[in-house]
Chain A
Amino acid sequence: MGFLNWFSNPGPTVHNLPSGSFTVDRHGKVMSATVGANFPASLLHEIAGEILSLFKEARTAQMPLAEVSLDFAGLQVSARDMQGGAIIFLSPKNPLATPSPATAKP
């Protein structure tokens, strides 16, 4: 039976970039999400914590922000403050995709 364990041993996994949105309360608890179920909940929780800290630090610095957006080469993370909580949008970028006229830059 040993060889069965060999097959079932999970190796390192590669996660796809998450896509969708989710809402969190002021404590970072995920309330609802449209992100794929295969994306680890722990990572969603981690993203939420970091985003909430951005809003919190902005308030501490006396320049409260309504929206925050982090633009990476492969992913855009946008968030809107919702009375201490937030709604967070995760939008992967496809470098091969043709921008639609509505989003194309002039």
Chain B
Amino acid sequence: METKHKILILDDDTDWLDTCRDFLAQLPSQPEIRIAASGVRALAMLDAQKFRVLICDLKMPRMDGLQVLSIVRRRFPSLRTVVLTGLQDDQFRSRAYALGVDLFWLKPDMQENSQMFLDCIESLLGREDADGFRDNQARNLLDVIRMECLADNSSMLKITSGNLVAKIWFHHGELVDAAAEGADGEAAFRRILKWKSGTFESLPAEPEHVRTITKSVDALVAESEQRIDKYVNPGSPEELEQQKLVEQLAAIAVEGAEFLVSIPAKKEIAPKSWGVKSTENLTAWARHAEKTALRLGEILSAGPLNYVAGNNLERQLLLLPQNGKTLVVGWPPEAIGEKLFEQTKKLTFAWDS
């Protein structure tokens, strides 16, 4: 029985989603068309079922299109990706192509050349799955390494840059060994991180491989990042701050949180946040909740407070008291409750480091 291909359209504009869905219904192969209004939702749908093509907007709240595409490229390498955006800026076009998208269309062009757009999408649907791994390393190899670790993977990452070949071994999410340019261990790992471009493929694990790297991944990556920063970009404080922000946002995107607010103990210092328009209400509740919980803990002699959690149909909240501040992280309702505490702690580490 012939199965229909599936297309997922991601855009924060629900009217546009409806228009686009109706428009793509004209495709000759009659694919199933699904829609998602947020990056998190789209990633959940991609996890749940197999899609052939993702059509993605770039400008979206919380998680933008480039963030979604970078995650999609790693997790679903065979998925065909199309950017459909209103942003007429060549910078975005080149960044999208650097992430390996198959097509980049502007929304006005798509409306003017509708038949050509349909032909392009039909052509993507018709292509056979290419064998092997398709990816590029231009964005940031560190992200790939972090994802291997966070996913507790056991694998061997083979990285090719021109005629150079490097290998990195992972065992249960731990960096075990690396080899590149005649070096091995930590020295090889540092050399690999200096490579500017290349491709990589994930190969089966080699559990018997001898471990030569004993430092924790975070320590080694942090050490390498410092070296790269000093080497590539001596960096102004503003640039370093920007780099730190990018790292923090990448951690949030990887974990799948919807928003994060870091509330200092002193009321006169403004909270730092990501993914929320206004922190005023949330901050007021968080301060009250933490105070209440601490008071209850004291009354009952229940020991130190680990966290306060709350949920409704729209989201789950997790409040984590930290040294001198409170972190509130919003998670989608489908996130698994048992894992939220650990995931929030990971985010806290990324946010503070």
Given contacts A69-B310, A72-B303, A74-B302, contact A63 B282 (CB under 8 A): yes
Task: Say yes or no: is B309 at the interface (Cβ < 8 Å to chain A).
Answer: yes
- In addition to A63-B317, A68-B308, 17 A-B residue pairs with Cβ atoms within 8 Å of each other are A50-B296, A53-B292, A54-B310, A57-B289, A58-B285, A63-B281, A65-B317, A67-B310, A70-B297, A70-B308, A71-B305, A71-B309, A74-B301, A74-B302, A74-B303, A75-B302, A106-B339
Give the size range of A's interface with the partner: 20 to 34
In the complex, whether B88 has a CB less than 8 A from a CB of chain A is no
Residue A82 interfacial (CB < 8 Å): no
A63 to B288, CA, bound (A): 14
Question: In the complex, A41 Cα to B295 Cα: how many Å?
Answer: 18
B288 A65 Cβ-Cβ under 8 A: no
Task: Report B159 CB to chain A, min CB distance, Å.
Answer: 30
Chain B residues with CB under 8 Å of A106's CB are 338-339
Q: B312–A65 contact, CB under 8 A?
A: yes
Using known A-B contacts A67-B311, A71-B305, determine if residue A50 contacts B281 with beta carbons closer than 8 Å: no
Q: Is A43 an interface residue (CB 8 A)?
A: yes
Q: Tell me whether B288 and A70 are in contact (CB under 8 A).
A: no
Residues of B bordering A, CB below 8 Å:
281-282, 284-285, 288-289, 292-293, 295-297, 299-313, 317, 338-339, 341
CB distance from B302 to the nearest CB of A (A): 4
- A73 with B281: in contact, given A50-B295, A66-B311, A68-B310 (CB under 8 Å)? no
Please tell me if the beta carbons of B300 and A61 are within 8 angstroms of each other in the complex.
no
Which of B288, B311, B339 lies in contact with A53, CB distance below 8 A? Answer: B288
Interface string of A61-99 (1 = CB under 8 A from B): 111111111111111010000000000000000000000
CA distance A83 to B292 in the complex (A): 21
The answer to whether residues A64 and B302 also contact, given A57-B289, A71-B307, A72-B297 and a CB cut-off of 8 A, is no
List the 7 closest A-B pairs by CB distance, nearest first: A73-B303, A72-B302, A61-B281, A75-B302, A74-B303, A65-B310, A61-B285
Contact between chains at A57 and B285 (CB < 8 Å): yes
Residues in A neighbouring B296, C-beta threshold 8 A = 47, 50, 70, 77
Q: Are A46 and B302 in contact (CB under 8 A)?
A: no
A28 at the interface (CB under 8 A from B): no
Give chain B nearest CB distance to A97 CB in angstroms: 15
* Chain A minimum-CB-distance residue to B281: A61
- The answer on a CB contact under 8 Å between B284 and A61 is yes
Closest to B303 in A: A73
Q: Mark A1-22, 1 if CB is under 8 A from B, else 0.
A: 0000000000000010110000
